Amino acid sequence: MCGRYLIKTALPVIARALGVDPRRSACGEDDRPRYNIAPSQSAPICRIGSDGARELVTMRWGLVPHWARDRSIGSRLINARAETVAQKPAFRAALRRRRCLVPADGYYEWQRVGARRQPWLVQLRDPAPLCFAGLWESQREGDDEVLLTFTIITTEANSLSAPIHSRMPAIIAPADYGAWLATACIDPGSATALLKPFPDHAMSARPVTTWVNDPRHDDPRCIQPAQPFVA
């Protein structure tokens, strides 16, 4: 699964990397580094706007399908499995019409070592930000408010990540950003072909301090290297 991640790269840099006009970034003025993004928190995603241009928009992590009456369902839909995303009622409509990219500088995963859980930080070897495959939804909240939510798609782990956890986020290569976002011309079957383990040789993983375990902690101590636990 993917239950925590970070964004250190400034939003204007992310916008340029994603081909987003800076004027199309509706993520507010809070451009501080985020070291410990957790479910139910808001974070930027990249989607295709109503005029066909890419834009950055802030949404809440935890997908609430447009038909859901109980919005607490979002806490159970922080991830969608690549193998079943096209069949699950909660995700299939969004896969057809509301695909997005979730920018990040890496993600955390926890490895069981005896009775303890060792946190690891997984990143690209290249220092550039990466993008997870995501889906988004919207729901009306009264006359003027709209609830915007997203989920991160996961796939089976590559050989680097497998000893830590059996799942990893589906990372979209920059060359495939357009295909993933192009819901108007790329069918879901072609899109799901992009949901595969990212090449392990392009990634790195290292144990970090247990400071990251608490989602209230959001500072550089979350990525501080640590000695791995010993069973």
**Nearest in space to 131 (alpha carbons), one of 62, 56, 77, 188:** 56
Residue 113 in any domain: the answer is: yes
pTM of the model: 0.95
Residue 206 in any domain: the answer is: yes
Give dist(CA 59, CA 147) in Å, integer: 8
Residue 228 in any domain: the answer is: no
Residue 75 in any domain: the answer is: yes
DSSP string, 73-102: GGGG-SEEETTTTTT-TTTHHHHHH-EEEE
**Nearest in space to 170 (alpha carbons), one of 85, 227, 93, 113:** 85
pLDDT at 224: 97
Give dist(CA 209, CA 217) in Å, integer: 12
**Predicted confidence (pLDDT) per residue in 71-100, tens digit:** 899 999 999 999 999 999 999 999 999 999
Instruction: Give the residue, 124 or 28, on which the prediction is more confident.
Output: 124
CATH number of the domain to which 30 belongs:
3.90.1680.10
Structural domain harbouring 120 = 5-223
Averaged pLDDT of the chain: 93
Which are the catalytic amino acids?
2, 109
The pLDDT-based confidence of 145 (bands split at 50, 70, 90) is: confident
Residue 198 in any domain: the answer is: yes
Q: Are 200 and 227 in contact (CB under 8 A)?
A: no
pLDDT at 37: 98
Look at the chain and report how many structural domains it folds into: 1
DSSP reduced 3-state for 137: strand
Q: Are 59 and 45 in contact (CB under 8 A)?
A: yes
Q: Which residue bears the tokens 């509706």?
A: 26
Give dist(CA 158, CA 181) in Å, integer: 24
pLDDT at 18: 94
Residue 21 in any domain: the answer is: yes
Residue 151 in any domain: the answer is: yes
Angle at CA 76, nearest 5°, toward 99 and 206?
A: 80
Residue 230 in any domain: the answer is: no
